[in-house]
Copies of this chain bind each other. A is one copy, B any other.
Amino acid sequence: MGSYVPSTQQERRRMLDTIGVSTIDDLYCQVPKEVKLQNLNLPQGKSELEVRSCMEALAQKNMQFTSIFRGAGAYHHYIPAIVKSVTSKEEFVTAYTPYQAEISQGVLQSIFEFQTMISQLTGLDAANASIYDGASAAAEAAAMCRDRKRQKVLVSEAVNPGVLSTIRTYCEGANTPLEVVPVNDGVTDKQALSQMLDETVSCFYMEYPNFYGQIEDATDLGELVHQAGAKFIMGCHPIAISLLKCPGECGADIAVGEGQPLGMPLAFGGPYLGFMTCTQAMVRRLPGRIVGETVDLQGKRAYVLTLQAREQHIRREKASSNVCSNQALCAMTASVYMAAMGSAGMRQTAKLCMSKASYAAGELCSIPGISQKFKGPYFNEFVTRCPSSQNILCALEEKGILGGLPLDEESILWCVTEMNSKKQIDQMVEIVREAVK
Protein backbone atom coordinates (compact mmCIF):
# COMPACT_ATOMS: atom_id res chain seq x y z
CA MET A 1 0.00 0.00 0.00
CA GLY A 2 1.27 3.43 -0.91
CA SER A 3 1.35 6.04 1.82
CA TYR A 4 2.73 9.51 2.34
CA VAL A 5 2.24 9.41 6.10
CA PRO A 6 5.68 9.51 7.68
CA SER A 7 4.71 8.51 11.18
CA THR A 8 5.46 5.03 12.39
CA GLN A 9 3.26 2.94 14.67
CA GLN A 10 5.42 3.83 17.66
CA GLU A 11 5.19 7.51 16.90
CA ARG A 12 1.44 7.33 16.57
CA ARG A 13 1.34 5.69 19.94
CA ARG A 14 3.42 8.48 21.44
CA MET A 15 1.18 11.09 19.91
CA LEU A 16 -1.98 9.44 21.19
CA ASP A 17 -0.44 9.32 24.65
CA THR A 18 0.34 13.03 24.53
CA ILE A 19 -3.19 13.76 23.42
CA GLY A 20 -4.54 11.50 26.11
CA VAL A 21 -6.68 9.11 24.08
CA SER A 22 -6.07 5.48 23.37
CA THR A 23 -6.95 5.10 19.70
CA ILE A 24 -7.28 7.37 16.71
CA ASP A 25 -10.88 6.31 16.54
CA ASP A 26 -11.43 8.05 19.88
CA LEU A 27 -10.74 11.32 18.12
CA TYR A 28 -13.74 10.65 15.89
CA CYS A 29 -16.07 10.41 18.87
CA GLN A 30 -18.44 13.01 17.43
CA VAL A 31 -19.10 11.11 14.24
CA PRO A 32 -22.47 9.37 14.59
CA LYS A 33 -21.92 5.63 14.76
CA GLU A 34 -24.66 4.80 12.33
CA VAL A 35 -22.90 6.50 9.45
CA LYS A 36 -19.36 5.45 10.22
CA LEU A 37 -17.93 3.68 7.24
CA GLN A 38 -16.84 0.08 7.32
CA ASN A 39 -14.84 -0.22 4.17
CA LEU A 40 -14.33 1.84 1.08
CA ASN A 41 -14.99 -0.09 -2.07
CA LEU A 42 -11.74 0.98 -3.70
CA PRO A 43 -8.88 -1.08 -5.07
CA GLN A 44 -6.06 -1.83 -2.67
CA GLY A 45 -3.32 0.73 -2.52
CA LYS A 46 -0.47 0.26 -4.92
CA SER A 47 3.27 0.79 -4.96
CA GLU A 48 4.70 3.57 -7.08
CA LEU A 49 5.87 1.06 -9.68
CA GLU A 50 2.38 -0.39 -10.07
CA VAL A 51 0.70 3.01 -10.16
CA ARG A 52 3.08 4.12 -12.85
CA SER A 53 2.31 1.12 -15.03
CA CYS A 54 -1.44 1.56 -14.57
CA MET A 55 -1.32 5.21 -15.49
CA GLU A 56 1.10 4.70 -18.38
CA ALA A 57 -1.24 2.08 -19.74
CA LEU A 58 -4.07 4.62 -19.63
CA ALA A 59 -1.95 7.23 -21.40
CA GLN A 60 -1.17 4.70 -24.09
CA LYS A 61 -4.84 4.18 -24.78
CA ASN A 62 -4.90 7.66 -26.28
CA MET A 63 -3.85 8.33 -29.83
CA GLN A 64 -1.17 10.97 -30.21
CA PHE A 65 -1.52 12.57 -33.60
CA THR A 66 1.68 13.48 -35.41
CA SER A 67 0.11 16.54 -36.94
CA ILE A 68 -2.81 18.50 -35.66
CA PHE A 69 -5.05 20.79 -37.71
CA ARG A 70 -7.70 21.27 -35.07
CA GLY A 71 -8.12 24.30 -32.83
CA ALA A 72 -11.59 25.55 -31.89
CA GLY A 73 -10.51 26.79 -28.49
CA ALA A 74 -7.44 24.65 -27.83
CA TYR A 75 -4.36 25.42 -29.85
CA HIS A 76 -1.26 23.44 -30.63
CA HIS A 77 1.65 25.84 -30.20
CA TYR A 78 5.33 25.36 -29.56
CA ILE A 79 6.33 25.37 -25.88
CA PRO A 80 9.92 26.48 -25.34
CA ALA A 81 11.96 24.23 -23.07
CA ILE A 82 12.63 27.03 -20.60
CA VAL A 83 8.90 27.18 -19.77
CA LYS A 84 8.66 23.77 -18.14
CA SER A 85 12.10 24.14 -16.63
CA VAL A 86 11.01 27.26 -14.74
CA THR A 87 7.49 26.24 -13.84
CA SER A 88 8.49 22.84 -12.50
CA LYS A 89 10.50 24.36 -9.68
CA GLU A 90 9.03 22.84 -6.54
CA GLU A 91 8.63 26.20 -4.80
CA PHE A 92 6.41 27.48 -7.60
CA VAL A 93 4.44 24.26 -7.86
CA THR A 94 3.68 23.86 -4.17
CA ALA A 95 3.30 27.40 -2.81
CA TYR A 96 -0.25 28.57 -2.22
CA THR A 97 -1.88 31.95 -2.62
CA PRO A 98 0.66 34.46 -1.33
CA TYR A 99 -1.16 35.57 1.80
CA GLN A 100 2.15 36.12 3.57
CA ALA A 101 3.77 38.64 1.30
CA GLU A 102 7.08 38.71 3.15
CA ILE A 103 7.92 35.15 2.13
CA SER A 104 6.12 35.28 -1.20
CA GLN A 105 7.74 38.11 -3.10
CA GLY A 106 8.81 35.70 -5.83
CA VAL A 107 5.36 34.52 -6.73
CA LEU A 108 3.86 37.98 -6.16
CA GLN A 109 6.36 39.60 -8.48
CA SER A 110 5.77 36.92 -11.09
CA ILE A 111 2.05 37.69 -11.00
CA PHE A 112 2.71 41.42 -11.24
CA GLU A 113 4.84 40.71 -14.29
CA PHE A 114 2.07 38.57 -15.74
CA GLN A 115 -0.47 41.35 -15.22
CA THR A 116 1.87 43.76 -16.96
CA MET A 117 2.48 41.48 -19.93
CA ILE A 118 -1.22 40.80 -20.41
CA SER A 119 -1.97 44.50 -20.20
CA GLN A 120 0.69 45.14 -22.80
CA LEU A 121 -0.69 42.47 -25.04
CA THR A 122 -4.27 43.69 -24.89
CA GLY A 123 -3.38 47.37 -24.76
CA LEU A 124 -5.53 47.88 -21.68
CA ASP A 125 -4.67 49.33 -18.29
CA ALA A 126 -5.05 46.65 -15.67
CA ALA A 127 -5.22 42.90 -15.39
CA ASN A 128 -6.03 40.42 -12.71
CA ALA A 129 -3.90 37.47 -11.75
CA SER A 130 -5.90 35.16 -14.02
CA ILE A 131 -9.14 33.24 -14.06
CA TYR A 132 -9.83 29.55 -14.68
CA ASP A 133 -10.07 29.70 -18.45
CA GLY A 134 -11.14 31.86 -21.33
CA ALA A 135 -14.80 30.85 -21.09
CA SER A 136 -15.20 31.62 -17.41
CA ALA A 137 -13.23 34.84 -17.94
CA ALA A 138 -15.79 35.89 -20.54
CA ALA A 139 -18.62 35.07 -18.14
CA GLU A 140 -16.97 37.02 -15.33
CA ALA A 141 -16.40 39.94 -17.68
CA ALA A 142 -20.08 40.06 -18.53
CA ALA A 143 -20.89 40.06 -14.81
CA MET A 144 -18.56 43.04 -14.29
CA CYS A 145 -20.70 45.20 -16.57
CA ARG A 146 -24.05 44.65 -14.88
CA ASP A 147 -25.64 47.46 -12.97
CA ARG A 148 -29.14 48.07 -11.72
CA LYS A 149 -30.37 49.55 -14.97
CA ARG A 150 -28.44 47.55 -17.44
CA GLN A 151 -28.66 43.83 -17.06
CA LYS A 152 -28.92 42.26 -20.45
CA VAL A 153 -25.88 40.58 -21.98
CA LEU A 154 -25.48 40.36 -25.74
CA VAL A 155 -23.20 37.71 -27.19
CA SER A 156 -22.29 37.23 -30.82
CA GLU A 157 -23.36 33.89 -32.24
CA ALA A 158 -19.91 33.70 -33.83
CA VAL A 159 -18.17 32.87 -30.55
CA ASN A 160 -16.85 29.56 -29.37
CA PRO A 161 -19.88 27.45 -28.37
CA GLY A 162 -18.24 26.40 -25.11
CA VAL A 163 -17.74 30.03 -24.23
CA LEU A 164 -21.30 30.91 -25.15
CA SER A 165 -22.59 28.04 -23.07
CA THR A 166 -20.52 29.17 -20.10
CA ILE A 167 -21.67 32.77 -20.30
CA ARG A 168 -25.22 31.50 -20.56
CA THR A 169 -24.85 29.35 -17.46
CA TYR A 170 -23.38 32.21 -15.44
CA CYS A 171 -26.15 34.52 -16.63
CA GLU A 172 -28.82 32.01 -15.75
CA GLY A 173 -27.22 31.64 -12.35
CA ALA A 174 -27.45 35.35 -11.71
CA ASN A 175 -30.86 35.59 -13.37
CA THR A 176 -29.38 37.86 -16.02
CA PRO A 177 -30.99 37.98 -19.46
CA LEU A 178 -28.77 36.97 -22.37
CA GLU A 179 -29.44 37.36 -26.08
CA VAL A 180 -27.46 36.03 -28.98
CA VAL A 181 -26.67 38.36 -31.86
CA PRO A 182 -26.96 36.39 -35.08
CA VAL A 183 -24.13 35.70 -37.46
CA ASN A 184 -24.05 36.68 -41.11
CA ASP A 185 -21.40 35.33 -43.51
CA GLY A 186 -19.27 34.16 -40.62
CA VAL A 187 -19.29 37.45 -38.71
CA THR A 188 -21.57 39.20 -36.25
CA ASP A 189 -24.60 40.68 -38.00
CA LYS A 190 -23.95 44.36 -37.42
CA GLN A 191 -27.47 45.44 -38.24
CA ALA A 192 -28.99 42.95 -35.87
CA LEU A 193 -26.62 44.06 -33.16
CA SER A 194 -27.57 47.63 -33.76
CA GLN A 195 -31.23 46.79 -33.32
CA MET A 196 -30.67 44.72 -30.20
CA LEU A 197 -28.66 47.39 -28.41
CA ASP A 198 -31.09 49.15 -26.14
CA GLU A 199 -30.89 50.84 -22.77
CA THR A 200 -31.16 47.50 -20.93
CA VAL A 201 -28.01 46.13 -22.49
CA SER A 202 -25.03 46.07 -20.19
CA CYS A 203 -22.47 44.68 -22.59
CA PHE A 204 -21.70 42.96 -25.83
CA TYR A 205 -19.20 40.11 -26.09
CA MET A 206 -17.52 39.12 -29.35
CA GLU A 207 -14.47 37.09 -30.26
CA TYR A 208 -11.40 38.11 -32.16
CA PRO A 209 -10.76 36.13 -34.30
CA ASN A 210 -14.17 34.57 -33.93
CA PHE A 211 -15.07 30.90 -33.79
CA TYR A 212 -14.98 30.62 -37.59
CA GLY A 213 -11.53 32.18 -37.65
CA GLN A 214 -12.80 35.45 -39.08
CA ILE A 215 -11.22 38.70 -37.98
CA GLU A 216 -14.23 40.90 -37.39
CA ASP A 217 -14.16 44.68 -37.54
CA ALA A 218 -14.05 45.08 -33.79
CA THR A 219 -13.57 48.85 -33.84
CA ASP A 220 -16.75 49.24 -35.79
CA LEU A 221 -18.77 46.98 -33.48
CA GLY A 222 -17.26 48.63 -30.44
CA GLU A 223 -18.37 52.03 -31.56
CA LEU A 224 -21.92 50.81 -31.99
CA VAL A 225 -21.88 49.32 -28.52
CA HIS A 226 -20.46 52.42 -26.90
CA GLN A 227 -22.98 54.61 -28.69
CA ALA A 228 -25.68 52.59 -27.00
CA GLY A 229 -24.03 53.14 -23.63
CA ALA A 230 -23.02 49.54 -23.13
CA LYS A 231 -19.61 48.02 -22.44
CA PHE A 232 -17.61 46.33 -25.12
CA ILE A 233 -15.94 43.04 -24.23
CA MET A 234 -13.53 41.31 -26.57
CA GLY A 235 -12.49 37.69 -26.26
CA CYS A 236 -9.19 37.42 -28.05
CA HIS A 237 -6.49 34.98 -29.07
CA PRO A 238 -3.45 36.21 -27.18
CA ILE A 239 -0.99 35.52 -29.98
CA ALA A 240 -3.17 37.02 -32.69
CA ILE A 241 -3.36 40.39 -30.97
CA SER A 242 0.40 40.81 -31.04
CA LEU A 243 -0.12 41.33 -34.78
CA LEU A 244 -3.72 42.48 -35.08
CA LYS A 245 -5.11 45.76 -33.82
CA CYS A 246 -5.30 45.08 -30.11
CA PRO A 247 -8.40 45.40 -27.89
CA GLY A 248 -7.13 48.70 -26.54
CA GLU A 249 -6.93 50.02 -30.08
CA CYS A 250 -10.38 48.64 -30.88
CA GLY A 251 -11.90 50.49 -27.94
CA ALA A 252 -12.64 47.49 -25.74
CA ASP A 253 -13.55 48.12 -22.11
CA ILE A 254 -12.61 44.60 -21.15
CA ALA A 255 -10.50 42.06 -22.96
CA VAL A 256 -10.46 38.44 -21.96
CA GLY A 257 -9.23 35.28 -23.56
CA GLU A 258 -7.98 31.77 -23.34
CA GLY A 259 -4.34 31.87 -22.30
CA GLN A 260 -3.65 28.26 -23.25
CA PRO A 261 -1.73 29.20 -26.42
CA LEU A 262 0.84 30.88 -24.16
CA GLY A 263 2.81 27.81 -23.25
CA MET A 264 0.17 25.41 -21.97
CA PRO A 265 -0.20 21.96 -23.50
CA LEU A 266 -3.47 20.76 -25.02
CA ALA A 267 -3.94 18.44 -22.05
CA PHE A 268 -7.42 17.27 -23.03
CA GLY A 269 -8.77 20.67 -22.18
CA GLY A 270 -7.10 21.80 -19.01
CA PRO A 271 -5.67 23.29 -16.94
CA TYR A 272 -5.76 26.37 -19.08
CA LEU A 273 -5.76 30.02 -18.11
CA GLY A 274 -8.27 32.83 -18.40
CA PHE A 275 -6.77 36.26 -18.78
CA MET A 276 -8.71 39.41 -18.09
CA THR A 277 -7.84 43.05 -18.55
CA CYS A 278 -9.80 46.25 -18.42
CA THR A 279 -9.58 49.98 -18.52
CA GLN A 280 -8.51 51.95 -15.48
CA ALA A 281 -12.13 52.92 -14.91
CA MET A 282 -13.19 49.34 -14.27
CA VAL A 283 -10.28 48.07 -12.22
CA ARG A 284 -12.16 47.94 -8.94
CA ARG A 285 -14.74 45.69 -10.57
CA LEU A 286 -12.18 43.11 -11.67
CA PRO A 287 -12.86 39.78 -10.00
CA GLY A 288 -10.22 37.53 -8.52
CA ARG A 289 -6.76 38.21 -7.31
CA ILE A 290 -4.80 41.36 -8.17
CA VAL A 291 -1.23 42.03 -7.18
CA GLY A 292 -0.14 45.61 -6.73
CA GLU A 293 3.15 47.33 -6.18
CA THR A 294 3.80 48.93 -2.81
CA VAL A 295 6.67 49.43 -0.37
CA ASP A 296 7.61 47.74 2.86
CA LEU A 297 8.17 49.59 6.12
CA GLN A 298 11.72 50.34 5.07
CA GLY A 299 10.58 51.80 1.77
CA LYS A 300 11.72 48.86 -0.30
CA ARG A 301 9.70 48.08 -3.42
CA ALA A 302 7.46 45.11 -2.80
CA TYR A 303 4.36 43.38 -4.11
CA VAL A 304 1.17 42.42 -2.36
CA LEU A 305 -2.32 41.09 -3.00
CA THR A 306 -4.42 44.20 -3.22
CA LEU A 307 -7.96 45.49 -3.61
CA GLN A 308 -9.04 42.60 -1.43
CA ALA A 309 -12.09 44.51 -0.36
CA ARG A 310 -13.71 43.19 -3.57
CA GLU A 311 -13.07 39.63 -2.63
CA GLN A 312 -15.22 36.92 -1.12
CA HIS A 313 -13.08 36.24 1.93
CA ILE A 314 -13.75 39.82 3.06
CA ARG A 315 -17.00 40.73 1.36
CA ARG A 316 -18.70 37.35 1.46
CA GLU A 317 -22.09 37.67 -0.22
CA LYS A 318 -21.25 41.19 -1.40
CA ALA A 319 -18.10 40.15 -3.26
CA SER A 320 -17.74 40.94 -6.94
CA SER A 321 -17.16 37.26 -7.64
CA ASN A 322 -16.39 34.03 -5.84
CA VAL A 323 -13.15 33.49 -7.75
CA CYS A 324 -10.64 32.34 -5.24
CA SER A 325 -8.32 29.50 -6.09
CA ASN A 326 -4.89 30.36 -7.25
CA GLN A 327 -3.89 30.00 -10.90
CA ALA A 328 -0.42 31.42 -10.34
CA LEU A 329 1.42 28.56 -12.00
CA CYS A 330 -0.54 28.89 -15.23
CA ALA A 331 0.01 32.64 -15.13
CA MET A 332 3.70 32.03 -14.64
CA THR A 333 3.67 29.60 -17.55
CA ALA A 334 2.26 32.33 -19.75
CA SER A 335 4.82 34.83 -18.44
CA VAL A 336 7.79 32.60 -19.09
CA TYR A 337 6.39 31.85 -22.52
CA MET A 338 6.06 35.54 -23.34
CA ALA A 339 9.51 36.28 -21.93
CA ALA A 340 11.07 33.52 -24.02
CA MET A 341 9.29 34.66 -27.16
CA GLY A 342 9.64 38.37 -26.56
CA SER A 343 7.73 40.92 -28.64
CA ALA A 344 9.46 39.78 -31.80
CA GLY A 345 8.82 36.11 -31.15
CA MET A 346 5.16 36.70 -30.41
CA ARG A 347 4.77 38.55 -33.69
CA GLN A 348 6.74 35.88 -35.51
CA THR A 349 4.44 33.21 -34.12
CA ALA A 350 1.41 35.20 -35.20
CA LYS A 351 2.84 35.69 -38.64
CA LEU A 352 3.70 32.02 -39.03
CA CYS A 353 0.17 31.06 -38.03
CA MET A 354 -1.35 33.52 -40.46
CA SER A 355 0.92 32.59 -43.35
CA LYS A 356 0.57 28.87 -42.87
CA ALA A 357 -3.19 29.09 -42.48
CA SER A 358 -3.34 31.09 -45.67
CA TYR A 359 -1.15 28.58 -47.48
CA ALA A 360 -3.18 25.63 -46.22
CA ALA A 361 -6.46 27.29 -47.15
CA GLY A 362 -5.16 28.02 -50.62
CA GLU A 363 -3.98 24.47 -51.12
CA LEU A 364 -7.17 22.92 -49.78
CA CYS A 365 -9.31 25.14 -51.97
CA SER A 366 -7.32 24.10 -55.01
CA ILE A 367 -9.07 20.73 -54.60
CA PRO A 368 -12.22 20.53 -56.68
CA GLY A 369 -15.26 20.64 -54.46
CA ILE A 370 -13.58 22.41 -51.60
CA SER A 371 -13.91 26.12 -51.02
CA GLN A 372 -13.70 28.62 -48.22
CA LYS A 373 -17.02 29.27 -46.59
CA PHE A 374 -16.42 32.86 -45.49
CA LYS A 375 -14.73 35.68 -47.30
CA GLY A 376 -13.29 37.90 -44.56
CA PRO A 377 -9.71 38.01 -43.33
CA TYR A 378 -8.66 35.22 -41.01
CA PHE A 379 -5.80 34.40 -38.69
CA ASN A 380 -5.07 30.76 -37.83
CA GLU A 381 -8.46 29.21 -38.51
CA PHE A 382 -10.81 29.03 -41.46
CA VAL A 383 -13.85 27.05 -42.56
CA THR A 384 -14.09 25.06 -45.76
CA ARG A 385 -17.11 23.71 -47.48
CA CYS A 386 -16.40 20.20 -48.59
CA PRO A 387 -18.16 17.04 -49.57
CA SER A 388 -18.49 14.66 -46.59
CA SER A 389 -16.37 15.99 -43.82
CA GLN A 390 -16.39 12.56 -42.14
CA ASN A 391 -14.69 10.88 -45.09
CA ILE A 392 -11.97 13.48 -45.09
CA LEU A 393 -11.36 13.30 -41.37
CA CYS A 394 -11.27 9.51 -41.30
CA ALA A 395 -8.76 9.43 -44.13
CA LEU A 396 -6.57 11.86 -42.20
CA GLU A 397 -6.93 9.97 -38.94
CA GLU A 398 -5.71 6.81 -40.61
CA LYS A 399 -2.48 8.59 -41.36
CA GLY A 400 -2.11 9.92 -37.83
CA ILE A 401 -3.35 13.38 -38.69
CA LEU A 402 -6.00 15.18 -36.66
CA GLY A 403 -7.99 17.14 -39.24
CA GLY A 404 -10.14 20.18 -38.59
CA LEU A 405 -13.28 20.16 -36.48
CA PRO A 406 -16.38 19.05 -38.39
CA LEU A 407 -19.02 21.76 -37.99
CA ASP A 408 -21.56 19.81 -39.96
CA GLU A 409 -21.65 17.24 -42.73
CA GLU A 410 -20.25 19.73 -45.22
CA SER A 411 -18.01 22.10 -43.40
CA ILE A 412 -14.80 21.82 -41.44
CA LEU A 413 -13.06 24.35 -39.20
CA TRP A 414 -9.32 24.04 -39.81
CA CYS A 415 -6.55 25.41 -37.66
CA VAL A 416 -2.94 25.84 -38.71
CA THR A 417 -0.13 27.02 -36.46
CA GLU A 418 3.65 27.32 -36.46
CA MET A 419 3.72 23.63 -35.54
CA ASN A 420 2.53 22.65 -39.00
CA SER A 421 5.42 22.54 -41.42
CA LYS A 422 4.84 23.00 -45.12
CA LYS A 423 5.56 19.33 -45.50
CA GLN A 424 2.83 18.44 -43.01
CA ILE A 425 0.38 20.75 -44.76
CA ASP A 426 1.21 19.34 -48.17
CA GLN A 427 0.80 15.81 -46.88
CA MET A 428 -2.54 16.66 -45.30
CA VAL A 429 -3.77 18.30 -48.51
CA GLU A 430 -2.77 15.27 -50.55
CA ILE A 431 -4.74 12.96 -48.30
CA VAL A 432 -7.76 15.22 -48.50
CA ARG A 433 -7.40 15.34 -52.28
CA GLU A 434 -7.47 11.56 -52.42
CA ALA A 435 -10.35 11.33 -49.98
CA VAL A 436 -12.69 13.54 -52.00
CA LYS A 437 -11.85 11.95 -55.36
Contacts and interface: CB of A to CB of B under 8 A. Distances in A.
Contacts of A80: 48
Contacts of A103: none
Contact of A90 (B78, B81, B85, B418): B85
A52 to B, nearest CB: 8
Interface in A385-437: 418-419
A418 B48 contact: no
A48 B52 CA distance: 30
Interface string A52-67: 1000000000000000
Interface in A271-286: none
A338 to B, nearest CB: 16
Contacts of A85: 90
Interface residues of A, number: 12
Nearest to A418: B49
A237 B419 CA distance: 46
Interface in A50-95: 52, 78, 80-81, 85, 88-90
A136 to B, nearest CB: 31
A64 to B, nearest CB: 12
Interface centre among A48, A80, A89 (most CB of B within 10 A): A48
Chain multiplicity (copies): 2
A81 B48 contact: yes
A81 to B, nearest CB: 7
A349 to B, nearest CB: 10
Nearest to A80: B48
A90 B78 CA distance: 23
Interface string A30-52: 00000000000000000011001
A52 B421 CA distance: 13
Contacts of A48: 78, 80-81
A418 B85 CA distance: 31
A81 B81 CA distance: 20
Contact of A49 (B49, B78, B88, B90): B78
Nearest to A47: B78
Interface string A314-334: 000000000000000000000
Contacts of A49: 78, 418-419
Interface string A363-384: 0000000000000000000000
Interface in A133-187: none
A343 B113 CA distance: 47
A332 to B, nearest CB: 16
A425 to B, nearest CB: 15
Nearest to A340: B48
A308 B53 CA distance: 46
A89 B91 CA distance: 11
Nearest to A53: B421
Contacts of A88: 88
A58 to B, nearest CB: 16
Nearest to A82: B48
A89 B92 CA distance: 13
Contacts of A52: 81
A81 B48 CA distance: 8
A419 B52 CA distance: 12
A194 B333 CA distance: 67
A418 B52 CA distance: 14
A89 B90 CA distance: 9
Contacts of A78: 48-49
Pairs A-B, 9 closest by C-beta atoms: A49-B78, A48-B80, A48-B81, A49-B418, A85-B90, A88-B88, A48-B78, A49-B419, A52-B81
Given A49-B78, A49-B419, A89-B89, 7 more contacts: A48-B78, A48-B80, A48-B81, A49-B418, A52-B81, A85-B90, A88-B88
10 contacts: A48-B78, A48-B80, A48-B81, A49-B78, A49-B418, A49-B419, A52-B81, A85-B90, A88-B88, A89-B89
